[in-house]
């Protein structure tokens, strides 16, 4: 129950809803369900949106602060101080609760030094691709990234011009789908029959909708306040702003966010390029344990890249694509195939490099308009 109420109040507050009898009833319920130790139980465990006691406590604190009113049994400040003491000693069992412990402490007036170590911990978890990831082997995604960026931003600890924020934004722009959504893999287990909400990404649609919202909030935070009568910058302007600041290899083309850009057409790319890769690359970059953590079998993998965290190709930008540099021996110690193995895996011919360049160039093309 506390989830519906705490999230509900957070939503009402975001909309500028004024306190009234409804919000008073909701906060009264929250206040009365605080446990003797200062926490809120958050019994209904459906991670990451309902992810346990720390998160329930943080969200309840926020709701009580947003809609303060007098409670029969205990003043609200006392309740919040009590919750804060509980949060101070709580051990976050996972990434989401780590973020919410930080948020809860901040909302409850935690000391700067407490927050400083939380912030360092969160920043240290940013991955080479600019995103954040939940634990347990999942990849960086819009949910974890959007949550972390907005959490650090809301507490004024990370501003959009900071390098970490910009890298996070680049990650989000790079991973947005053509339809505007982000895909986030579900972390929970099904316990009721799936029904379709209409949001993309099939059975992952619920967490994807939430992740898309968080990503949008993180991106909105980068905008200057909009003067009355002016409109928001377009997606194009936003992308231009972010891609300018970054070097060609670290600005991975922001490809998929390009307005109207085609989703990579795997079929043609793979058809044309596969023979080349088969001859010179796939022995190492395929199978269970591909070298450099890069499996060259799909376009999605090429865009995602391997252990470096950099994309291997940037559709539409062959010269900025690391892979094309590697196969032309332009980068010392990253010549591909590796120099010492060329007896077995031949270097690409000029014609093959040309073909690869051409394919990367056109990979980001718009689809033919029907
Ligand atoms: C004999 C094995 C071998 C062959 C063949 C080979 N590679 Fe590699 N490749 C590696 C290894 C090992 C690494 C990791 C190198 C490192 O990070 O120091 C790597 C890394 C890479 C990376 C960087 C991945 C990342 O993001 O970290 C790219 C891109 C790449 N190879 C492309 C190719 C292409 C394209 C071909 C074929 C033209 C090829 N490789 C052939 C062994 C191979």
Alpha helices in 125-234 (DSSP H): 142-154, 163-175, 205-220
Report whether 96 contacts 147 (CB < 8 A).
Answer: yes
Atom of ligand 1 nearest to the CA of 348: 38
CA of 325 to the centre of ligand 1 (A): 12
Structure tokens at 323: 């892979």
What is the per-residue pLDDT for 263? 42
Atom of ligand 1 nearest to the CA of 283: 5
Distance CA 245, CA 250 (A): 10
For ligand 1, whether the C-beta of 274 sits within 6 Å is no
Report whether 221 contacts 149 (CB < 8 A).
Answer: yes
Q: What is the DSSP string of 32-99?
A: HT--TTS-----S-BTTTB--HHHHHHHHHHHHHHS----SSS-HHHHHHHHHHHHHHPPP-SHHHHH
Atom of ligand 1 nearest to the CA of 306: 26
Structure tokens at 15: 């909309």
Q: Which of the residues in the chain have pLDDT under 70?
A: 71-73, 136, 190, 224-268, 270, 364-370
CA of 300 to the centre of ligand 1 (A): 16
CA of 361 to the centre of ligand 1 (A): 21
How do residues 58-88 score in pLDDT, each as one tens digit?
999 999 999 987 766 678 889 999 999 999 9
The full 3-state SS of 90-149, as one line of letters, equals CCCCCHHHHHHHHHHHHHCCCCHHHHHHHHHHHHHCCCCCCCECCCCCCCCEHHHHHHHH
What is the per-residue pLDDT for 247? 37
Rounded to a whole number of angstroms, the CA Rg of the chain reads 24
Greatest Cα pair distance, the chain, in angstroms, is 82
For ligand 1, whether the C-beta of 111 sits within 6 Å is no
Report whether 328 contacts 353 (CB < 8 A).
Answer: yes
For ligand 1, whether the C-beta of 306 sits within 6 Å is yes
**Residue to probe by mutation, ligand 1, list 322, 338, 354, most atoms within 8 Å of CB:** 338
Distance CA 8, CA 272 (A): 52
Atom of ligand 1 nearest to the CA of 305: 26
For ligand 1, whether the C-beta of 6 sits within 6 Å is no
How do residues 174-198 score in pLDDT, each as one tens digit?
999 888 899 998 877 767 777 788 8
For ligand 1, whether the C-beta of 346 sits within 6 Å is no
């Amino acid at each position: 129950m506390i989830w519906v109420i705490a999230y509900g109040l957070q939503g009402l507050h975001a909309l500028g809803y004024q306190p009234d009898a409804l919000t008073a009833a909701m906060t009264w319920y929250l206040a009365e369900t605080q446990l003797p130790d200062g926490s809120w139980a958050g019994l209904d465990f459906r991670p990451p949106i309902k992810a346990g006691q720390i998160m329930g406590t943080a969200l309840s604190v926020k709701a009580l602060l947003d809609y303060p009113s007098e409670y029969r049994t205990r003043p609200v400040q006392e309740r919040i101080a009590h919750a804060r003491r509980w949060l101070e000693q709580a051990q976050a069992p996972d990434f989401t609760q780590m973020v919410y412990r930080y948020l809860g402490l901040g909302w409850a007036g935690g000391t700067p030094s407490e927050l400083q170590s939380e912030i360092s911990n969160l920043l240290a978890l940013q991955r080479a691709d600019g995103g954040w990831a939940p634990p347990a082997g999942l990849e960086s995604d819009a949910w974890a990234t959007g949550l972390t960026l907005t959490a650090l931003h809301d507490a004024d600890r990370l501003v959009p011009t900071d390098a970490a924020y910009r890298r996070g934004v680049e990650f989000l722009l790079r991973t947005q789908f053509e339809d505007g959504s982000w895909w986030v893999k579900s972390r929970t287990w099904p316990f009721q029959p799936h029904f379709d909400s209409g949001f993309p990404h099939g059975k992952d649609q619920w967490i994807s909708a939430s992740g898309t919202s968080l990503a949008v909030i993180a991106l909105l935070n980068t905008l200057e306040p909009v003067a009355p009568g002016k409109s928001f910058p377009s997606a194009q302007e936003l992308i231009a702003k972010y891609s300018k600041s970054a070097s060609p290899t670290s600005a991975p083309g922001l490809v998929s966010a390009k307005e109207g850009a085609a989703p990579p057409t795997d079929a043609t790319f793979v058809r044309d390029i596969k023979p080349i890769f088969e001859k010179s690359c796939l022995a190492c970059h395929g199978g269970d344990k591909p070298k450099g953590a890069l499996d060259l079998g799909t376009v999605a993998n090429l865009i995602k890249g391997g252990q470096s965290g950099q994309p291997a190709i940037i559709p539409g930008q062959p010269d900025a694509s690391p892979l094309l540099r590697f196969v032309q021996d332009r980068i010392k110690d990253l010549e591909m195939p590796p120099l010492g193995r060329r007896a077995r895996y031949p270097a690409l011919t000029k014609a093959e490099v040309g073909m690869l360049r051409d394919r990367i160039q056109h990979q980001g093309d718009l689809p033919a308009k029907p």
